Structure 1
Amino acid sequence: MPIAIAVHSTALGPALGGCRLWTYPDWRDGIEDALRLSSAMTAKTALAGLANGGGKTVVALPPGTHLDVDDRRAVLHDVGDAIEAFGGRYGTGPDVGTGVDDMVTIGERTDHVFCRPASHGGSGSSSPGTAAGVVAALRATVAHLSGPADPAEHSPQAPVEKSSFAVVGLGSVGADVARRLAVAGARLVVSDVRPDAKALADELGAEWVAPEEALTAEVDVLVPAALGGVLTPALVPQLRCRAVVGPANNQLASPDVAGLLHDRGILWAPDYVASAGGIVHAVAVELYREPEYVVAARIERIGETLTEVYRMAAESGVAPATAAEALVAAKLTQATHS
């Protein structure tokens, strides 16, 4: 089974990035995905203030592959052996297709693994931390959209109860984000490809629509919470939101979409900023051994980081993606010359 491990940067410290177990038309597509995702992880860790770089593991399953329990275990052991060969320069955690129990299996071959269950010495699921970070990012975005003329005065703690959100994807993170927004009193439109997810919409008093309708719903903020590539050049003209902020990785189908969104006046929070809460939680708990209240404060600072990105973008007249890339480059350059 092809296993690709991409280490994009160790300028700030050992690289981190989840293990993705997914089906690809061709194994080379898996390598391309690993390279792209590892670059995003470098940006994520840098702007999250972590002393780590970016990496990624991709197990590229051929179409139609079904792994039984023994096959899955064998593949994950191979992943662990490959990670161990890096000698600590790279560590992994859960990603699409893997979970906390899989990290236990990988951990049988290497210590460089995060998010094992607490019973196995880990920090558990990264989903709650990711959701908390997304909500902090949403507060910062609402503040930017409705705040004072001076972007420097925006508060990342702005309430969300007067805003509307379309959450597309009700997996572990998307469902958590939706619940947090509902508790805050926000108006919600939600969707998922799984019909049984409608039960959550009913529970939250949210409007349930098909995913394609949710993407173009008339709301303040669109929250992509499923797989990436959802923001395409064809979709941008159909959007009826003021901003896009969500946990889905690689939301842009192509880099030029960031400019298309900017040209339409739609604020896009770089996904690697908004989705950093999970890795912040894992690293702060497992490496820094910080108490939960300190970890929670770290995650809340995602809102402050995004506010800074918005401020830089507004001052320079560029898209937030461009401002975020400049911040990442500055941090990596500083680390290289220090």
Structure 2
Amino acid sequence: MPVIDPVDLAARLISVPSVTPASGAVFDVLDEALSGLGFTIHRFTLGEAPDGPTENMVAIRERGPGPHVGFAGHLDVVPAGDGWEGDAFTARIADGRLVGRGANDMKSAIAAAVAAVSAIEQPSGTLSFLITGDEEGYATFGTPRIIDWLNDRAIRPDMILIGEPTSETRLGDTVKIGRRGSLNFWIRTRGVQGHVAYPHKADNPVPRLAKIVAALSALHLDDGTEAFPPSNLEFVALGTPTAASNLIPGEASAQGNIRFNNLHTGDRLIALLTETAQAVDPGCEVRTRISGEAFLTPPGKLYELVTEAIRAECGIAPELSTGGGTSDGRFLIKLCPVVDFGLPNASMHKVGESAGVDDIETLSRIYRRVFAGGLEA
């Protein structure tokens, strides 16, 4: 079997545009690489716009009885935005860094994992790649559908490594052993539109919305735990249908998000949000969407494998963290222990997104150690 160059494969993946939700050609590139390594490839596309169509891939290489080690990741990326030097979807190397949308989050990690597998012997056990085209979106047709596919076939990994960019200032300094939950919410207050000079003939909803915002912002959710930082509620948008200076609007709205630790569940927070908002304005509308629940992977073999591999390749002991955003670990934890570990994340989602060539190569060696150790019974 060929030994794959992780930087070359990352460049080829980057050079196929795959803004979320992704499907098609970018999966063809990965399919070719994994097929050449003896993996059986299963691809399925689900859904329609706006949350689809989303393509998913489950690639499996089974070599007899033994542990099942999985790697999870996503080929979709956020839009490029303006201000790039050159084409965001044409990978290039500059000053020792691979530049292009997806270089950091997370096509380079997928390439590093494929290269790692190409460089190890697998006398027994099972390796799998669980790759979605919808992690940057709402994941409606992404990783949850991969889990359905696995459950329908009674396939269950013993551990899953997720290649999200978790490192902070240098490769290996941070591993994510859990993630906070995420709850999006939208609040709408209604009134009666009218002229600002005749307020008695109107009903201004803005003051009521302001009181709701103040009441929710004043909530003290918790002080955090030993493993998690405190939960936080943040408003991200406020608005009315018009900005006319002489018009009292007929409605006003606010949008926000709660990042919460494992002291809460999404349903209990929805109840708290609704109760607090409707105590101010019983007629207000509260809509919510849970992006994922908080989770924590208990200490075990996967912790040890990742930590020891980082020590061996980077010479440091990583911080075990639950900070930052969400990942598809919020779904995959239902199958088995999961850990997120990948590149330094300073450039993810930014114009000029990039990853150090040396870091990609080192990451591949770390993954190789994890995969090899995980396959040992």
- Structure having the larger proportion of residues in strand: 2
Interval containing the TM-score (normalised by the shorter chain): under 0.3
What's the TM-score, normalizing by structure 2? Answer: 0.23
Instruction: Between the two structures, name the one with larger relative contact order (CA 8 Å, sep ≥ 6).
Output: 2
- Structure having the larger proportion of residues in helix: 1
